[in-house]
A and B are shown apart, each in its own frame.
Chain A
Amino acid sequence: MHLTHLERLEAEAIHIIREVAAECERPVMLYSIGKDSSVMLYLALKAFAPGKLPFPLMHIDTTWKFREMIDFRARMQKLHGFELIVHTNQEGLAKGINPFTHGSVIHTDVMKTEGLKQALDKYAFDAAFGGARREEEKSRAKERIFSFRTAQHRWDPKRQRPELWRVYNARINKGESLRVFPLSNWTELDIWQYIHLKNIPVVPLYFAKQRPVVERDGVLIMVDDDRMPLKPGEQPMMRKVRFRTLGCYPLTGAVESNAETLTAVIEEMLLASHSERQGRVIDHDATASMEKKKQEGYF
């Protein structure tokens, strides 16, 4: 008898989630509604069954998420009955910050990074679970599973703690916090295999369907609602597309695809020739941009 790689990853993630619940005073699980979040939520529910989740979920809503994501969020909450906090940066909203006028950098910084910091301060959370994986991006390869943040939410490379065995140090002083990544050791393929094996529900946007899109700078952007200003001559056209990652719809590139089912999506991914984050507009800014974002407090 031996454990498969998915069983080992599963056991590790459950161990991490329980450890935070046991050691931290006010943990929260950041729920981004994407596939990684779906797996993380599934594992958290398993970790405490037959008991309930001992912490709330929180979604930082930039108000620019795909409508189907918001529907899915409501569906999951109804199904599992977890406590959900939805936070929007009201100052940013009042200033009318949006990805079209202000660009992806400012929009993400104000609505996502600032919004997250506001919410963590407001509810005095001392630990926040995130679904990030080390394999996603070069600068994340060295990220700890328990990532230490100063009272100003900054990631200071010097204060990151060595992690040995499965003994995690969750101790912090007042005002400081932890970001915890239970899926650190999972790859994109592991995530999809696990979703397939456990039949975990995901947002239908991952599956190909006819959707209205426009092409901008070589990226297909879905016209999800009428807030999207069309440039002269631009006309939304129906294309059969799906999304490899989910975020704010104006910042998320679609790929043309025929993969309507989970297995077809996995097959397509395995046969693909481009890495996952390519669809994210935010990464194109600079090579080391993710690292900079992380220091500022973005996940």
Chain B
Amino acid sequence: MYDIEQIKADGIDAYLKSHEQKQMLRFITCGSVDDGKSTLIGRLLYESKLIYEDQLTALEADSVKMGTQGGAMDLALLVDGLAAEREQGITIDVAYRYFSTQKRKFIVADTPGHEQYTRNMATGASTAEAAVVLVDARKGVLNQTRRHTYICALLGIRYLIFAINKMDLVGHDEKVFLEIEEALGKLTQKLGAEKGICIPLSALKGDNVVSPSVTMPWYKGLPLLEQLETLQVDDDTIQKPFRFQVQWVNRPNSDFRGFSGCIAGGSVRVGDAVVVLPAATLSKVASIVGPEGMLERAIAGQSVTLTLTDEVDASRGDVIAEATSRPNVADQFRATVVWMHEEPMLPGRPYLMKIGARTVTVSIAEPRHKVNISTLDELAARKLELNDIGVCNISVDRPIVFDPYKENREMGGFILIDRLTNDTVGAGMLDFSLWRADNVHWQALDVDKRARASLKGQRACIVWFTGLSASGKSTIANLLEKRLHSNGRHTYLLDGDNVRHGLNKDLGFTDADRVENIRRVAEVSKLMADAGLIVLVSFISPFRSERQMARDAMDAGEFIEVYVATSIEEAERRDPKGLYAKARKGQIRNFTGIDSPYEIPENPELTIDTEKTTAEEAVELLVQELKKLGRID
């Protein structure tokens, strides 16, 4: 099938030699079934002679069975995947295709054009160097075209190719093409993207796909495949400053201490001065170990192991960079976030953020705005839903090393992970640090939590009561505070109702507000513990994530989660404030246990079942637990 002529002429050895030196280009195709995207990919595979005889036979049979092209061969069937979507006639995920020509190997990320487009397109675009955006010549620039172009520009794709398809259906008219070209020029200008390359073609007939079209002699540019073969690749990342995210510390014996990773930007030579961040330790490159042994120089995209001239303590997630051109170190950023999960992004809820080889806890503020990606308008938003793109301020629990995404994809792109399910729920691009956190260091205070607490003759901690409304949290917390107070302990009780009348009176009871409510309470209780107090917190706090966030803010042993357990039936029977009754009548919305969920703690320090235990007994249990944990004597 493939390059038969070359093999026959030059022999297999010459063939292998030349083909082992090929470059690779990764590109994404954007468009819907109607644009003829599958047909275009099928055409590329077919014309580059990558279809085997048995696949061709199957294709002919399928074409007749499906009847989509009136019995003629339907190339789109070559690229359809899973059985379910073959029946529906649509593609629902990112599929990767492979083909190569004499000059290059290509990896195609094939993404669908319908509802799931944002998530899937962002995924496919993140690794692509070029994009082929399909435009139906009959329809011109549509909302869909704007969406696709916007996402490609956002994800930093360097080359935009607009395939103006179905030229055969507009009579191969140059005027139609020029009008679309002009409209696309305006669009890319508005987005601040590169101008892009427009090619008039017909995927169905094969015009300007692989060979120049005889029906459109007015087009002087290259056909699509030749264009893809000649785009400049990986030259610009090599020009950038050297960046290396430490992935693995290789220490087989005491004589060798290497740092393994994939070079994220620039190049490195033995002897180069480097800095290890965030610690900012200076050193020099002693050796570079590549797959085939020692190297003098390595470039972006290579997986290597570096050794340094000094005994430097670097670990996974650290960044080794050019000493004279350093990346930023910061803990607060402006970022563009693409939400990828059915569960919306709630401001204040902690997520995990993985950037390079580092995973940190991140908190995302309320979006500054989200983008309507069809009109490119900025809209107000309180949260981000699946396939939303929003600009947000984010903060992480410790400083990370980064470059703005526009300067370096690997150093500025991150994923967001749900802390309980471990699903990847979003992705984002760091724009800039919010203030120069890299120049501001935490003031190391001489009087600390320990010092303040010891003046009171105690050890600070937070006792966090969680449970349904009317489970008995406040009753127990009150009794415990009385008991501790009479023993000379310095305490403070934060109670749901009290805080909601003051600090949090601007918040309601939606999921987003509940998250913010607990975030503030966690912060306040942390400050109070920092002041040396034993803080009792009595809040329904229905979500695991936020309780975990409060726990993470404290050192080990300082956070005591107490689950005050009561069945919903019992709580509803007690109903001291008549809230359940109102909720049942629909007079209160979003009531925990009725129409808003309560997530039972998985590993609380203590569970108190108030259907079996009195409040006095509960206090006894708590005092014993506090003693056991060394918080009181």
Chain A residues packing against B (C-beta within 8 Å): 1-12, 14-15, 18-19, 21-22, 43, 46-52, 134-135, 138-139, 141-142, 157, 159, 161-167, 169, 171-173, 176, 184-185, 187, 189-190, 193, 196-197, 263-264, 266-267, 270-275, 278, 287-288, 291
Contacts and interface: CB of A to CB of B under 8 A. Distances in A.
Nearest to A173: B422
A164 B23 contact: no
A47 B262 CA distance: 11
A4 B252 contact: no
Given A3-B234, A267-B7, A164 B427 contact: yes
Interface of B: 1-4, 7, 12-13, 15-16, 19-24, 52-55, 79-83, 93-98, 100, 104-105, 107, 110, 119-120, 122-123, 126-127, 233-235, 238, 247-248, 250-252, 256, 258, 260-262, 267, 289, 291, 297, 299, 301-303, 305, 316, 340, 352, 354-357, 409-410, 413-415, 417, 421-424, 427
Contacts of B16: 193, 196, 263, 266
Contact of B423 (A1, A48, A159, A167): A159
B105 A190 contact: yes
Contacts of B303: 10-12, 14-15, 18, 47
Contacts of B250: 48, 50-51
Contacts of B260: 18, 47-48
Given A4-B23, A164-B127, A176-B422, 8 more contacts: A2-B23, A2-B233, A3-B234, A51-B252, A52-B252, A193-B16, A197-B20, A267-B15
- Ordered nearest first, which 7 A-B pairs have the shortest CB separation? A288-B83, A5-B24, A51-B252, A273-B53, A164-B126, A14-B303, A161-B424
16 contacts: A5-B23, A10-B291, A19-B247, A50-B289, A134-B98, A161-B424, A162-B119, A162-B122, A164-B126, A164-B413, A165-B410, A193-B20, A267-B15, A270-B15, A288-B83, A291-B82
Contacts of B356: 167
Contacts of B424: 161-163, 169
B414 A167 contact: yes
B81 A271 contact: no
Contacts of B107: 185
A184 B93 CA distance: 16
Contact of A164 (B20, B252, B415): B415
Contact of A162 (B2, B97, B427): B427
A164 B94 contact: no
Contact of B95 (A21, A141, A196): A141
Given A11-B302, A263-B13, A287-B83, A272 B52 contact: yes
Contacts of A172: 422
Contacts of B7: 267, 270-271
A138 B51 CA distance: 13
A134 B1 contact: no
Contacts of A266: 12, 16
Nearest to A2: B234
B307 to A, nearest CB: 11
A52 B256 CA distance: 13
A187 B104 CA distance: 13
Contact of A2 (B19, B53, B235, B422): B235
A169 B415 contact: yes
Contact of B82 (A18, A135, A142): A142
A77 to B, nearest CB: 19
Contacts of A275: 52, 54-55
Contacts of B261: 15, 18
A164 B251 contact: no
Given A6-B20, A197-B20, A139 B81 contact: yes
Contacts of A267: 7, 12, 15
Nearest to B8: A271
A161 B423 contact: yes
A273 B413 contact: no
Contacts of B301: 3, 7-8, 11
Nearest to B291: A46
Chain A at the B interface: SS class: helix
Given A15-B303, A142-B82, A166 B22 contact: no
A155 B354 CA distance: 24
Contacts of A190: 105
Contacts of B127: 164-166
Nearest to B299: A1
Given A3-B301, A138-B80, A291-B82, A166 B410 contact: yes
B185 to A, nearest CB: 29
Contact of A185 (B98, B357, B410, B422): B98
A138 B79 CA distance: 8
Nearest to A9: B24
A287 B82 CA distance: 10
B78 to A, nearest CB: 9
A287 B297 CA distance: 48
Nearest to A160: B93
A172 B420 CA distance: 9
A195 B68 CA distance: 42
Nearest to B232: A2
A271 B417 contact: no
B422 A171 contact: yes
A136 to B, nearest CB: 10
B269 to A, nearest CB: 12
Contacts of B234: 2-3
A4 B299 contact: no
Most A CB atoms within 10 A — which of B16, B352, B409?
B16
Contacts of B316: 22
B424 to A, nearest CB: 4
Contacts of B354: 167, 169
Most B CB atoms within 10 A — which of A8, A165, A184, A274?
A165
Nearest to A140: B81
B247 A4 contact: no
Contacts of B297: 1
Contact of A278 (B54, B104, B289, B427): B54
A124 to B, nearest CB: 18
Contact of B24 (A8, A50, A171): A8
A184 B415 contact: no
Most A CB atoms within 10 A — which of B119, B120, B248?
B248
Nearest to A21: B248
B81 A1 contact: no
B23 A167 contact: no
A273 B52 CA distance: 5
B1 A270 contact: yes
Contacts of A197: 20
Nearest to A267: B12
Nearest to B122: A164
Contact of A138 (B24, B81, B417): B81
Nearest to B25: A5
B41 to A, nearest CB: 11
B296 to A, nearest CB: 11
A266 B345 CA distance: 51
Nearest to A294: B82
A118 to B, nearest CB: 25
Contacts of A7: 301-302
Nearest to A51: B252
Contact of B302 (A3, A47, A139): A3
A49 B104 CA distance: 30
A275 B78 CA distance: 14
A18 B305 CA distance: 11
A271 to B, nearest CB: 6
Nearest to B260: A18
Contacts of B409: 165
Contacts of B13: 263
B105 A270 contact: no
Contacts of A159: 423
Contacts of B81: 138-139, 141-142
A21 B535 CA distance: 41
A291 B413 contact: no
A189 B120 CA distance: 28
B552 to A, nearest CB: 16
